[in-house]
């Protein structure tokens, strides 16, 4: 276990040391519109600069679907990582704990910041490690569907730390097909 933690520590130190431009924490209202899947949620998200303009992205969302039942958005492999880690605690050993940690911390996606001027920036993004969990039916059974999206976000900085953000994307949800997603939020950068 010490080797695993040391390896992860070195990887994070190397990844986030030089060139880390900023960290952004955003709170957004998000809507997904799809012919067979509609949801509305509040999503805290974090973008971590790993290069001069490159960021990794994580988000978690809680809300309701069009049928007024529970909905949650999360990184897609996080639950698999938790299960692998727990298997490693039981009898799977160090390997499964390592796999579990890696899958749990795997980013949801990446973005690239393009400054337009001192106040505006645009960020094309792609998220391929996402999932949607939702309740359905009279018994409120849960479904877990992998999803992915790609789109563009734009941010307006009110000052060095506070910004407003709008994004729109094309989104695909496992067995639900293509749709659109959009969000509007406010954030803090440091």
pLDDT per residue as tens digits for the range 70-129: 999 999 999 999 999 999 997 768 999 999 999 999 999 999 999 999 999 999 999 999
- Would you state the pLDDT for residue 90? 77
- Cα 99 from Cα 79, distance rounded (Å): 12
- Would you state the pLDDT for residue 32? 97
- Would you state the pLDDT for residue 69? 96
Architecture of the structural domain at 20-75+107-189: Beta Barrel (2.40)
- Would you state the pLDDT for residue 139? 92
pLDDT tens per residue across span 14-48: 555 545 479 999 999 999 999 999 999 999 999 99
In sequence order, the 6+-apart residues with CB closer than 8 A to the CB of 157 are: 118, 119, 120, 121, 163, 189
What's the rounded mean pLDDT across residues 159-169? 97
Is the per-residue pLDDT at 189 higher than 90?
Answer: yes
Is the per-residue pLDDT at 68 higher than 80?
Answer: yes
- Would you state the pLDDT for residue 2? 67
- Would you state the pLDDT for residue 9? 63
């Amino acid at each position: 276990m010490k080797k695993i933690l040391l390896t992860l520590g070195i990887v994070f130190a190397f990844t986030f040391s030089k060139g880390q431009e900023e960290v952004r924490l955003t709170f957004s209202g998000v809507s997904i519109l799809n012919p067979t899947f509609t949801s509305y949620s509040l999503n805290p998200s974090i973008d971590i600069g790993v290069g001069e303009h490159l960021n990794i992205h994580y988000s978690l969302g809680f809300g309701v679907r069009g049928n007024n039942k529970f909905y949650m958005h999360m990184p897609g492999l996080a639950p698999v990582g938790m299960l692998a880690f727990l298997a490693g605690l039981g009898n799977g050993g160090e390997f499964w704990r390592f796999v579990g940690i890696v899958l749990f911390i795997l980013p949801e996606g990446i973005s690239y910041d393009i400054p337009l001027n001192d106040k505006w920036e645009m960020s094309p993004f792609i998220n391929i490690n996402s999932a949607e969990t939702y309740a359905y039916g009279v018994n409120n059974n849960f479904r877990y569907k992998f999803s992915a999206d790609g789109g563009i976000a734009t941010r307006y900085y009110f000052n060095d730390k506070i910004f407003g953000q709008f994004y729109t994307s094309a989104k695909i949800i496992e067995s639900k097909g293509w749709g659109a997603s959009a969000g509007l939020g406010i954030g803090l950068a440091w």
